[in-house]
Amino acid sequence: MLRTGIAVGAALVVTCAFGVTPAHAARITLAGTGFQVAARLGVTSVSPSRPYTVTFASAELRKRYLPHLTAAVAQMRAAGVKVTIGGVEHVDPAVCPPWGHIQYTQTYRPMGRGGYSRGMPCPAPEKGVSAGGVVTMDSEYFDGTWVIAPHQLRNTFVHEMLHTFGLGHPNRDLDGDGAVEFYECATDPHGTRPVMCSPNGGHGTARSAGRLTAFDIAGLKALLANSRQGDTG
């Protein structure tokens, strides 16, 4: 590797100059059992060194949302993502926040459909490294107009956050009927789907809801590893 380092570096410059996929792209991981890197918004990795901060549009939302995120954020830190819970700041769901901020706010039907929330990463970040994003929760969960089980609500909070880090839905045509269907995701020995499964993945008990499954953690670790691949180019 050392002997050919200069030659490889020169080749990379030429490759990039012609707009061809960089050499390191061949080594990044976009999918595995129970996880999927969305990639279509240009997010292919998570920084293992830069800090991420979860913030909220108001003190009231922070107080209401915090219990839903605590366990997952701790698991993400254990997996190597330098993410912490932050404070309150102005949120415009249509504008990307400062680098590394994951902003939570809520509006009525952010996806235009009842019961759906939205987690959007800032698109096309530098080197494909997740730069944060905005989670817009559907206000219907909180005014009683949309009935959602407590464990589903908690898993939804976490699901949308993981979208901002670059994970997509790991639904696959597992039964081979030619259609990728709702809930069609890998399951663990307990029958639990990834939090990122669409819709309503994650643990089904009050005690475990909001906790990442091993599938989701594998996805985050792939995103972190992808960042290290990018560093070598």
Beta carbon of residue 218, minimum distance to Ca ion (angstroms, whole number): 22
Specify the residue, 81 or 185, whose C-beta has the smaller distance to Ca ion: 185
Amino acid at the residue 121:
P
143 binds Ca ion (CB under 5 A): no
Residue 113, helix vs strand vs coil: coil
Amino acid at the residue 87:
G
Pick from 112, 179, 189, 191 the residue near Ca ion by CB under 5 A: 179
Beta carbon of residue 184, minimum distance to Ca ion (angstroms, whole number): 5
Sign of CA dihedral 41, 160, 200, 220: positive
173 binds Ca ion (CB under 5 A): yes
Contact 87/56 with Cβ under 8 angstroms?
yes
Contact 35/185 with Cβ under 8 angstroms?
no
Specify the residue, 60 or 181, whose C-beta has the smaller distance to Ca ion: 181
Beta carbon of residue 190, minimum distance to Ca ion (angstroms, whole number): 22
Q: List the one residue out of 46, 52, 118, 123 whose CA is nearest residue 84.
A: 52
Q: Which two tokens stand for residue 204?
A: 């089904």
CB atoms closer than 10 angstroms to residue 58: 15
Beta carbon of residue 215, minimum distance to Ca ion (angstroms, whole number): 18
Pick from 6, 175, 191, 207 the residue near Ca ion by CB under 5 A: 175
Specify the residue, 26 or 179, whose C-beta has the smaller distance to Ca ion: 179
Binding range to Ca ion, per CB under 5 A, among 48-56, 58-66, 89-97, 178-186 = 178-186
Beta carbon of residue 180, minimum distance to Ca ion (angstroms, whole number): 6
Report the C-alpha gap between 150 and 156 in whole angstroms. 10
Contact 179/173 with Cβ under 8 angstroms?
yes
Element (H, E) at 31: strand 31-32
177 binds Ca ion (CB under 5 A): yes
Binding range to Ca ion, per CB under 5 A, among 49-57, 58-66, 87-95, 177-185 = 177-185
Residue nearest to Ca ion (CB): 173
Q: Count the residues of the shown chain that bind Ca ion, applying the rule CB under 5 A.
A: 5
Specify the residue, 126 or 177, whose C-beta has the smaller distance to Ca ion: 177
Specify the residue, 121 or 170, whose C-beta has the smaller distance to Ca ion: 170
Q: List the one residue out of 77, 79, 227, 93 whose CA is nearest residue 160.
A: 93
Q: Which residues bind Ca ion (CB under 5 A)?
A: 173, 175, 177, 179, 181
